[in-house]
Amino acid sequence: MSGTFRTGFIALIGRPNVGKSTLLNHILGQKISITSNKPQTTRNRILGIKHLSEGQMIFLDTPGLPPSHAAKFHRNRPLIQTARQTVYEADLILALIDPAVQQNDSFLFDFLKKSDAPKILVLNKIDMLNKGALIPTLSALGANEEICARFSAVIPISAKTGENTEKLLEIALSYLPEREPIFPEDQVTDQSVRFLASEIVREQVIQQTKDEMPYAVTVQIERFVENGPKGIIHISSILFVERESQKAILIGQKGERLKKIGTAARCELENLLDSKVFLEMWVKVKEQSGLMGTEQ
């Protein structure tokens, strides 16, 4: 391999809804991390690999960090631990914030103190800012001694439109160590197709139910057959809920809501798998053995 080649792990860290998953999907050119406006949509660390002629950038998408007052809650501890472990493993940290939202990011900055890895502060969602607001925002950050001391660079981007993301990649790559590639050129993630399918179904549950359903909904892929009749991929999934009332919400009147979830999920799956998909979904209360569902 001629020339300088850089390879490294890049942690995407930030509060919920700052656009970490949207940025990762944009960089990779395909969806491997689900998105929604609901906090803590990402529950696991998602690895995505960007292959360049000059290097291999291995991104680690993490669950959103809660505000400092919520960090002590039991439900947030596993999410914080996942993010903490990712920070320890990273060669570079991209800390995302939303400059259009007034919030206290001190917990985020304190969280990053224990890592010696270089850090870049990424101002996402600049497409949502008033055109005259960006320069004063950057000037204020540049004058902030704490920001200057902790971050090697401050870069404004829009993960949604892609504005300035190429510049972010260029700068981020320069901070990675000179190293041979770790993953083969045709690999984009370390997640299985089954996991990605379950996440896409869960994303549509979140999108279709909004605030009616809690985070307790989990999706399990029971069957994944790639070589079905006429080349159709057959996927059978179970949506687990905690109570019978949640089951009724998820299914909806005459099964209409579950049909909408299935239709939207199937379209996403067909884009991901580049194939026709037959999707079965069943809703099950965790404590019970009875199943209820509909086919899509």
Q: What is the pLDDT of residues 236-258, one digit of tens each?
A: 999 998 888 889 988 999 899 99
Cβ-Cβ contacts under 8 Å for 206 (sequence gap 6 or more): 34, 36, 38, 41, 213, 217
Domains and CATH numbers, the chain: 6-174 (3.40.50.300), 193-295 (3.30.300.20)
pLDDT > 50? residue 71: no
pLDDT > 80? residue 260: yes
pLDDT > 60? residue 11: yes
Output the pTM of the full model: 0.78
pLDDT > 90? residue 180: yes
pLDDT > 90? residue 261: yes
Lowest mean pLDDT among 162-166, 213-217, 262-266: 213-217
pLDDT of residue 78: 63
pLDDT of residue 207: 85
Mean pLDDT for the stretch of residues 150-160? 93
Instruction: Give the sheet arrangement for strand 233-241, strand by strand.
Output: 218-225, 233-241, 277-285, 292-295
